[in-house]
Structure 1
């Protein structure tokens, strides 16, 4: 159908509205980079990747020239502007985030004008890079990596799903990246994958996991083949069925009025300077197209408010469930750790506090702990029995599970969640709502205290984030890495934000947890070490059994996994305090000691001195002081590279020098495994480098030499030069006390070089004679 004048005007209004969208503080206009096409000379590859480049000004010009025959063509071109940006740019880049914001604004503006037709799809257009390259990728995957879905995960609707354990039996599917068999090949002749490593028991330390702090890069990108392995597995994983039918609000008198009051409390909540936190909920579109959500129907705060005012909810349970789904949508919409993400979690905790047996007084509702039940969170709280009053920190946690005034139960239910022993949770953080507490449930209970009689809760062990620890600047962290602590805390169910999962590295590198332990879309963390926040010590975990509740140790039902085709290591990142953005602690850059589990600490537990077994790898988690490492003659002669240990003989009087070779500094050959390439240093190359004068080993330094001017050569003083000239003059005048006359004078001249003037004078005298 032709574009009418009214539709043309409405489309122009949409474009103008997009051009007016600005950043939250109105410091810049987001559409500036989308007004014109990308420069072909500067970004030539853009036109090779993007099939249909589009710009806002170009679309406006075509609209003015009546070049469109259908208003949906305008919609497709406008959507391509942002789909192209989302495909070409990295998800963490600012232009990617701007494109997401503008795309949502565009969809909202288009729907707000009834004269414009409603598009039939919300997915990328057929001419978009997502569709074009997606089809090519699928064709390549079919030809290059023909992995049947059953080789990675069982069918979703299988009748009986037994926990899958990794075995040593070769898979029938070809390895990722292996060539496809010829068409005439039979199934029995197809190449098979190499045998998979067996899934270790939890109390076995699996070798080959490199120490994150041994890496020397800020952000080591994972190779594309590893990403493909993860994507292949996740495509076959079952989806989350959503919240259950238990733990919801019950019917009470005046329920209809109460629903409106709760919505207004969320909508009107402000911080100390008057900022409305509900803006984080209102910024989301009503349509629900976020992957892995438990629902797909449109939902927004405005929609819930209108239904509550109209008494459209059949029960409190229906209202309560929709509010929970709204917060679920907001948690997936906003970036974890951002301020708006923290606003969402604070509003969720406010809502759960208002619907609890002991709601806060108000409005206005004010809380010094962001409505959390505890007074302090990770990095700030101290144990209840701590006797150090100088710390001035709230006493909150314990070092063991308490059994006082409570009755232990198998599970507790809350707002559709069934919480059981060993489950992982996000809990409300009283210090920073944007960083919810990561914890594992060690006990579920019902309180017997008179003031909390019958109220359910959980006792959970806290895990710290990297920014909640003190660590050296050079330490590296796994992606989404957390650290087990000895802090236990009692939380009422109102503190529960959502269920999550955390894997120890031995299983994280081999697969993903099975439901109900974890579902796609849930946050997933990895743990490799303990952290002692009092001594600031990192301890690499070797005995995983000691980290989980006793009831699930050695249990085959505890977090079984869907295995990868091969091991996939997570990415590594530098300290969050070195990324150029302001990161809230309470941790920071500071001294720490990393060691293996079971190593003895000397000096009364201060963690500053430690005893190592002979030949044990040197820890480099502390600051480097003149570090150099040597590659010995084995590397030059062509033999297998071996770490060099400098150990003077007893009684030699020399101090013991620690092993500072490259391999040992990285954790040892057993730790590096296949994650490092070691090559021999040829003699032709080694001759260009300095060597140690005593060992004749090539010297390697931790950093390039400082750009400092060299020390100048010593110079004669003016007094000495004057004395030397006087001596020569006296020798020429014969005023010296020599015995042999002229012979003595000549001998003195031979010992002292003549000046240029003296040489010329003598030469002229000889020529005159």
Structure 2
């Protein structure tokens, strides 16, 4: 009976082409019911824009033959022609129903629940090797990747607002919050402040995807300001700047998802904070970080490296490769998978490595030849191919990056 309960194909149809606040109330509701609550550190994220971004991503995705995968889920099977569907699927939903609800969604969690229900229904009803089931797995992975990308973009914009906000005099408000005080010079700070945090730590958490919402990052910014108030005297410079950073107007402005080259610039800011650069960069203003207009991630991280070397060029070709939609192909390989979310990865893979480890080895001049870098890149790709199934999105990314690796390697050998 198990095989009869799953169909190989779906009925034919035709179609025309929680905001990240952990359930925070909308701005209109909070302004009425919580007048005393200060929300200056939480940006006005537009959940409707994010919902539309997610819906459009699923709607517009195509297979290798140019067919929109969402066509398989436009209409749920009807009781009269597929009576067994209603016995298996207790809460039917389809793309048309989600489209009709687009103006009803108040946050990203709501549309996420509906898409998860849609794809779980398909996985439950159709055979594992059916086009519907394969499409459900692919589109759900795409949905999660897009959702995480949108959140990361919002956090990058929030960090950018904090880092770049200036006093009327033109001084950066954030320059005293870039790096924690020295434990040698200020041992009492760590006795008084129970939760030390700086912008470098916040930047690291963005890059490692440790924030699950905007409010989670906003709490860390609140903590940073609270620590400054706890340790410093009310009339001190740090105390005054704590007040400034709390009331920074860019933080309160509306933040929308922007697909442009700004993404690279924001990543450069995050990565520069993550590595807190070198003394030569910040010597003219202790504790602050400065960025050149349009500076790339490669320039911000490897400012001390010779960018003309074959080692750097091979790494940057792989790291910076993009697909036809302008998406960074190497994004899944920037850091190792989470041990909490993917414990089996570290059981199957004996030598885990990511672009983060490779970057640090480059920074420390551990590669004596381009062949050594090439070997680490190959190890990273083979690890991914061993863990991920063929035809998966990550497996396909590996093949594209290996092609870039091969072409760039050949060019390096000719140099």
Place the TM-score, normalised by the shorter chain, in its bin: 0.3 to 0.5
Q: TM-score, normalised by structure 1?
A: 0.23
Q: Name the one with the larger helix percent.
A: 2
- Higher RCO (CA 8 Å, separation ≥ 6 residues): 2
Normalising by structure 2, report the TM-score: 0.38
Which structure: larger Rg? Answer: 1
